[in-house]
Chains A and B, each alone.
Chain A
Amino acid sequence: MRRGFALALVVALLVAPSHAFAMHSVPGWPVFWDKDSNGIPNSTDSVEYYQTAGTLWTSSKIQRLQAAISRWTNGTDWNPAYSCCSTNGVYINGATLPACFSSWNSASIAATCLSFTNRGSYGDIFDTDISLNEVHWNFSWSASEPPSGFADAQGVSTHELGHGIFLLDLSGTANCPPGPTMCGVITSGQLPYTMDLRTLTSDDVSSANYVYLP
């Protein structure tokens, strides 16, 4: 009978979903935009801006960016919003390197620099800069599928916006692409498939909602 009990215990442990236990092994460090620095995630803190200063911006580029932002706004607890020309927030500029980087090399297609204050129990985000490496790679700003040799700017922007709330790159054939928006490794032949990154998967949504305090 003892053997039976032990067997039942083993079966029970095997049947139980493993991720349910993994939850407790991850300490967690929530993050949110705290623009008024009051330590409370207000609804207005969830608004994020990007800057469109400069002459490189066209209406089609802005439309693609708005579409990328709307994926997160409509799908997760994080609610970035488009607001032109703020001086403090997300901006996307292929010609400028964020403070995190010293130089572009061809190994990087795009980059995000997320700035935050460590508040001890949470991360207080105050700025996110996104750059697409237009020095080494071609980007399509079209709504339709990019041609061969071009990366999809909307898909890549959607991915980079995920870094704006501490989401990390995923790698491996199971993840990239097609796969989660946070797929972080692309082969040269897969560049047009970065269009797949436009659509958030359940992994992206649950990651964002796990990390981000609404």
Chain B
Amino acid sequence: MRRCASLTRRRWPGAAILPVLVPLFVIAVIAIASSANASGPAPVDSARAADIVGDKLVGGDATGKCFALGSYLLAEPTAVDFTRAFALGASGWVRDGLYKGTAEEAAAAWKGKIVVLETDGAVWITAAEDEGSHAIRLQPFLGPDGVTIWIESGSSRQVTGPEDGG
């Protein structure tokens, strides 16, 4: 017991310089972080597409292949849409292009399965029959009654070449 007490009282040889080292360490960490930030613009959310498409949807063995990436500027579901969705009870189509349900149910409604989940809740699904050559992005909208409505907000499709790219 006395030995332990003795050990706790013993000063570590480097303890004398710790008051200097700690502030230096803090400054160094901040400097490294700042320098990383200064090396290039930090990616913000709208820069995600290149990463998602490049790494998850068409990367790897798809080198040399052509793709068409679709993006839709969406109109948010209206209060009437959410009222209809709530009245539906079960999952299902609220109207053309709007689906009420979970992410998995929405993916199934578009005949696909989830392959990418984005930070804002949007999901990319692949159409099962296309074996990955066709993916669709679904954007969720949470209503006041806790109902979630999904709308297609993008797509990625393999095309044979520049001539049929659009």
Contact = CB atoms under 8 A, between A and B. Distances in A.
Majority SS at the chain B contact face:
mixed
B58 interface: yes
A128 B67 CA distance: 12
A134 interface: no
Contacts of B48: 168
Majority SS at the chain A contact face:
mixed
Interface stretch (B27-35, B83-91, B100-108, B125-133): B27-35
Contact of B41 (A1, A101, A162, A210): A210
B63 A120 contact: yes
Interface string A1-36: 100110011011101110111111011111100000
Interface of A: 1, 4-5, 8-9, 11-13, 15-17, 19-24, 26-31, 88, 98-101, 105-120, 122-123, 126-129, 137, 156, 159-160, 162-163, 166-172, 175, 180, 182, 184-188, 203-207, 209-211
Given A4-B18, A111-B70, A116-B67, 6 more contacts: A4-B22, A100-B166, A105-B96, A112-B71, A204-B46, A206-B44
17 contacts: A4-B18, A8-B26, A16-B32, A28-B54, A105-B96, A106-B97, A107-B98, A111-B72, A114-B69, A116-B67, A126-B165, A162-B46, A167-B46, A184-B71, A206-B43, A210-B44, A211-B47
